[in-house]
Amino acid sequence: MSTFKHIMTRRVAPALVAGLLPMAFFTTARDEWEDHLYDLKKQFSPNNPPRKERVVILGSGWGSLSFLQRLDPEKVDVTVVSPRSFFFYTPLLAGCSTGTVASTSITESMRWHLDRFKSSSSRPLFLQAHASSIDLEKKTVTCGSSAVGVSTVLEYDQLVVAVGAESNTFNIKGVKKHATMMKEVEDSLKVRRAVLEKLESANSLLASGASEEEVLRHLHWVVVGGGPTGVELTAELCDFVNSDVKEFFPGLAGKIQISLVEGTGKVLGMFAPHISEYARNKLVEQGANVTTSCFVTGATEKTVNLLGAVDKKKTFIDYGLLVWAGGIGARPFTKSFATQIGGEQVPKKGPLRGLKVDNKFRVTGTENVWALGDCALSGSPPTAQAAYQQGKYLGRLFRETNCDKKIVDEHAAFEFHNYGSLAYVGSSTAVADLKLHLWGSDHPAGRGQGDESTVLEGKGAFAIWRSLYFSKMLSMKNRWQVLFDWCMSGVFGRDISAPYNEIELEGEGGK
């Protein structure tokens, strides 16, 4: 096969076909009708309050951004506070770890989204800082900037807490110190840099005549957590090894081990058993070692300790890279605020997992304080899909009720609609469990419609995975950047030097 034909059939064609064919359908099915109807109605019957509500939003993730997009700039003065100045598209985080997409392609400046809220108010639209404390009586938030060492006090009429969650290590000894978390954009860049450094180190050791054991240790990469993040990262690493590493490090490709460790009995636990089994077999087919029913009990600089959940067998694995995607827990700020409120916010047993809210996201035990996303105990799953729906609901509630307590009490409660789950499993294949809604069941046209579940696996699921995530990106600029990255990595391979040139993104945010 000629080089040109090889590139066209093995790289360009799958990227274009999988990425573009279903794109139009999912793009036109986007759930924006109520927002357009609101804008149209407003032209004929404006209902602006005499005084704007001062709204402070803590966080720059899915919940806060979708909330922000539904607010009416003529009814609120908004300030967003977050230690990270951008929103990032979490579904493509694993691809960022191997260079399939660039970090700049999945990030969007919060200031860009705040542009329509510009007013004569002296309040800042965005403040890059950590929220350190809340005074519920004075209705103020104290925010600190570690970069310049100053504090700012913001007054609010309505406070929306959407700080998300952080990686949960379950206090397992050595994990926090030696593992690389997989939660934020900077985490994906650390993984990418570490992978390339391990390849270069192993190459140098091999050339110097070092022991085979030491070479193999550098080339053993362990991913902990069999959820979508862990599975997709494992799949991306397998793709990277089977294509780019074979091309640029031909002497190392056959020595690399990629291990996925999951504590429960199967990977992708939210999927049906046969789909989970398909995902596992696909990863194994590409060269990954998949171990289930096995818990991590400790980690050192070079070794991770495992314990079988059933047979209680202890195993010690030498590794070069340990990546933690084993779950999430409440941030220190969330725990501190819940303890400050007291009462039923503090559980009698077990760890504090988030802020308790009612069915309209009002924080229990407070007034004028709301919580969204992973920091809220709302009954919805801790996913980007849930956080996005919550923010959309609360933004519409604010603009329709003007935060009038009596009207809010009478407003319809939030209902989460599961639109399904997707996961990439490598080699241009994916798994999908989609709940089909004719119009979207949170719209008048779609209420009462029965939900049908469609389960797909393989190339077809991959086509849906790419097209759906493409259409759901929040700006046209990022859509075309991601599409360009997919095509470039498909034709020319992944950039194996980019982490040393990209700007390191710092800070933490939430969904």
274 & 223 share domain: yes
202 & 322 share domain: yes
Could you tell me the end-to-end alpha-carbon distance of the chain, in angstroms, rounded to an integer? 47
pTM, 2 dp: 0.88
pLDDT at 292: 96
Domain count, the chain: 2
Higher pLDDT, 279 or 434: 279
298 & 270 share domain: yes
**β-strand pairing of 452-458 with 429-436:** antiparallel
197 & 237 share domain: yes
DSSP state of 115: G
Q: Tokens 């291990």 — which residue?
A: 259
Neighbours of 421 (CB within 10 A): 18
140 & 195 share domain: no
- pLDDT (average), residues 290-312: 95
pLDDT at 145: 83
183 & 138 share domain: no
With beta carbons less than 8 A apart as the criterion, state whether 151 and 144 touch. yes
Distance CA 153, CA 139 (A): 10
Q: Which of 268, 293, 326 is the last residue of a domain?
A: 326
Which H or E element spans position 463? helix 459-471
100 & 240 share domain: no
pLDDT at 148: 75
Q: Which of 326, 358, 388 is the last residue of a domain?
A: 326
pLDDT at 120: 64
C-alpha count within 13 angstroms, C-beta hemisphere, residue 480: 2
Q: What is the pLDDT of residues 386-431, one digit of tens each?
A: 999 999 999 999 999 999 999 999 999 999 999 899 999 999 999 9
**What average pLDDT is seen over the chain?**
87
pLDDT at 219: 97
- pLDDT (average), residues 148-158: 91
The token duo for 478 is: 């990022």
288 & 399 share domain: no
229 & 342 share domain: no
Distance CA 410, CA 400 (A): 12
Higher pLDDT, 203 or 496: 203
pLDDT at 43: 65
55 & 144 share domain: yes
pLDDT at 149: 78
The token duo for 64 is: 């806060």
The token duo for 225 is: 């957590």
**Domain boundaries, position 344:** 31-168+329-416+473-492
Confidence band (pLDDT; 50, 70, 90) for 510?
Answer: very low
| Among candidate residues 355, 329, 334, the one with its CA nearest the CA of residue 132 | 334
Whichever domain contains 388, its CATH number is: 3.50.50.100
373 & 488 share domain: yes
DSSP state of 9: I
| Among candidate residues 191, 192, 511, 189, the one with its CA nearest the CA of residue 328 | 511
Q: What are phi and psi of 288, to 5 degrees?
A: -80, 150
Confidence band (pLDDT; 50, 70, 90) for 10?
Answer: very low
